[in-house]
Structure 1
Amino acid sequence: MDETAKARRVWDKAAPGYDRQIEFLERHWFTGGREWIGARATGRILDVGVGTGRNLPFYPAGTTVTGIDLSPEMLAVARRQARRPVELHEGDAENLPFADASFDTVVCALSLCTIPRPRAALAEARRVLAGGGRLLLVDHIASSWPPVRAGQWLLERITVPTAGEHFTRRQLPLVEQAGFTIVEVQRLKAGTIERVHARV
């Protein structure tokens, strides 16, 4: 089974209990990340790794939202829970089924950590963004505190082979390498959470 198929299987299995499991982490670790995204997202929004749609309530009125996710089970939950119009697609972040310059904002929240080839996903995000478009990322990354970083490395010995989830990746250098201009970076929680706002 390739990495993409494995990721689909993992998230299909996780879908029924995902919201319940993530709520605690969002209160205590990822605090405010979705609000941060919503305050910066504009125009035609593409939510990559939309999952169960937890970002949807935070997007401003007047925006249009398209979501894409590998997992049909996660998308099924998003469809049931959506309280605003949203166009949902099953698909791969590394090969987006959208034309060049189709969106004003691309969001990826807590998803690049599990995408097998994050460079490919960022290249695709850049391709589908219109000139001046925004990339908004929130994810967990390698801690700036060595004892925590060591624990994250140990945790990856389990999470990478079983779920494809990385804790020691850092997306900021990949964003820069993809040709984006960095507008804003916030690093929180002993350096384990990073928010990146970049422009094409």
Structure 2
Amino acid sequence: MSTAPDQTAKVLRVWEKTAPSYDKQIAFFEKIQFGGGREWLGSRAHGRVLEVAIGTGLNLAHYPADVTVTGIELSPAMLAIARQRAADLRRDVDLHTGDAEALPFDDNAFDTVVCALSLCTIPDPAAAIGEMNRVLVPGGRLLLLDHIASTWPPIHAAQWLLERLTIRAAGEHFTRRQLPLVRAAGFDIVEVERLKAGTVERVFARKPVSA
């Protein structure tokens, strides 16, 4: 029997509770670990953009003015903050509550799909990437930013120990790597950057035109 619904419910509870303090909690890591990552994503986005697990909308300030942005987020509390951020930025964003593993959008609906710092907590990341593939047009862009398993054994060991706690408490993984899942889903890899002792990865992939 699948435990995915229970895992999704756990993640939802965590984000509902964390939402009011999330931006302050992530600010330190944005500077020392993920610096430049949101700008990297925004500079490669084009056309009709779907951001999966948009959270509090921290990427919104970095998208080009000429793209249209749709966002989906599991947590209504996180989404409420994203909605306010969009209003403050005077950015028209179409926001939805929903699950990354079952996107409520038609096939071939978007030119770019973005997912930042979220595949580490989505219970079935392969299913989510499959859904991202489905909603992208042929030739569409997949842009990912996440923390992953380090290339340095001592850090990798520490990550493994840490996630013995974080998986149980919040469904958060530190030793995942999304790139093999992207390849397995049939995407062509355009650009990969791995930073911070291999603990941070940026991925730019493209859905084949003749998929």
Q: TM-score range by the shorter chain?
A: over 0.9
Code of the residue aligned with 1:126 in structure 2: it is N
Aligned with residue 112 of structure 1, among 113, 119, 135: 119
**Does residue 133 of structure 1 match 2:133?**
no
Find the counterpart in structure 2 of residue 173 from structure 1: 180
* 1:88 maps to which of 76, 95, 113: 95
RMSD: 0.7
- 1:81 deviates by 1.4
Which residue does 1:188 correspond to in 2? 195
Query: TM-score scaled to structure 1, two decimals?
Result: 0.99
Q: CA deviation at 1:80?
A: 1.2
Percent identity among equivalent residues?
69
Report the secondary structure of 1:39's partner residue: helix
Q: In the TM superposition, what is the alpha-carbon distance from 1:32 to its structure 2 partner? A: 0.6
Counting only pairs closer than 5 Å after superposition, residues 37-48 of structure 1 correspond to structure 2 as: 37-48=41-52
SS in 2 for 1:2: helix
Matched, 1:51 2:55: yes
CA–CA distance in structure 1, aligned partners of residues 102 and 66 of structure 2: 28
Tell me the distance in 1 between the aligned counterparts of 2:133 and 2:126.
11
Aligned to 1:199: 206
Q: 2:21 aligns with which of 17, 22, 27?
A: 17
Q: Judge which range, 171-180 or 76-85, deviates more.
A: 76-85
Among 8, 11, 36, the residue aligned to 1:7: 11
TM-score normalised by structure 2 residue count: 0.94
Q: 2:165 aligns with which of 158, 167, 171?
A: 158
Tell me by how many angstroms 1:131 deviates. Answer: 1.0
Partner of 1:99: 106
Amino acid at match of 2:158: G
Runs of 4+ in 1 over 2 A off after TM superposition: none
- In the alignment, structure 1 residue 60 sits paired with structure 2 residue 60: no
C-alpha separation between the residues in 2 aligned to 1:111 and 1:176? 18
Deviations along 1:4-52, one digit per CA (max 9) or x if unpaired, are 1111110000000000111110001111100000110000000001000
Amino acid at match of 2:83: R
Count residues in correspondence.
200
How far did 1:106 drift?
A: 0.3
Unaligned stretches of 5+ residues in structure 2 = none
Q: Partners of 1:6 and 1:16 in 2: how far apart? A: 17
Deviations 1:91-120 (A, max 9, x none): 000000000000000000000000000000
SS in 1 for 2:181: helix
**Distance apart, 1:128 and its partner CA:** 0.1
SS in 2 for 1:166: coil
